[in-house]
Amino acid sequence: MTLTAVCDWPATGCPSCETDGLDCLPPVQQDEVLAWSKSDLWEATGRVYGTCPVSVLPCLSLFCGLCGNTYRRCGCGTVPELKLAGPVASVTAVVIDGVELDATDYRIDDYQWLVRLDGGTWPTNADPLDPDAFRVDYNQGVLPPAGAGIVTGILSCERAKRICGDKSCRLPRDTVQVSRQGVTMVRSGSITLAEDSVIVFGLAEVDEWVRNANKPTRAGAVHSPDICVPRQITWEAPVSP
């Protein structure tokens, strides 16, 4: 799945900017600055992170090879599940015959399998034109690394300061540093991002987060048809305290 725009990106704010940052702008412009920062950080991390809400009407059949398969064999038994277009970050609702299931009645395995846990099975041959017959609402995509909301708030507040003429703004004026293939350039004007480039915003906290978010995963993996790959629970409903 490739996002064509950032749908959901956290912005928890910057405590030091509560009184002299975004507040210098009217609410509509505050929203614009936040959207601007989210979009730039999404671009700076290769458009990898961020989630978008999705609603699907699953078409399932008990006959393998038609619309899908409601069971997957696991050991000596079968698991009632259906495959969603992933990666699935979280599920917001599962509706069957107009009734929303309790969130503890299902979970997500391997970022794509919706597994039923209450002893029931998923409906087969549900009316594909009726959104209340069988519908799954979920967030598709990859959550950004920890700290995304903080750096979004910092970048937004500093941009608001510059717009308002606040001399305490830490952003460099009309320049951006771009590192590509070991060569560092300082460019004037708008920010651009090539496929193998790293954007530097000129804010230490933001730049550090972007560099870490762009680091490749170092964990190795071994694939063999003789090795049974275990199922991984990748999302389940939070337990109420």
**Looking at 34-43, 55-64, 215-224, which range is the least confident one?**
215-224
Q: Is the pLDDT of residue 185 over 60?
A: no
- State pLDDT tens for residues 188-227: 444 444 444 556 788 999 999 999 999 876 555 565 666 6
- Would the pTM count as exceeding 0.85? no
> Which position has the token pair 């790293």?
198
What letter represents residue 89's amino acid? A
SS3 213: helix
Q: Is the pLDDT of residue 187 over 60?
A: no
- Residue 5 backbone dihedrals phi, psi, to 5 degrees: -160, 155
Q: Is the pLDDT of residue 14 over 80?
A: no
Whether 56 and 33 have beta carbons less than 8 Å apart is answered as: no
Please give the structure tokens belonging to residue 137.
Answer: 């609402």
Pick the more confident residue, 14 or 178: 14
Q: Which of 174, 156, 136 is nearest to 55 (CA)?
A: 136
* Max Cα distance, the chain (Å): 69
- State pLDDT tens for residues 92-145: 999 999 999 999 999 999 999 999 999 998 998 888 889 999 999 999 999 999
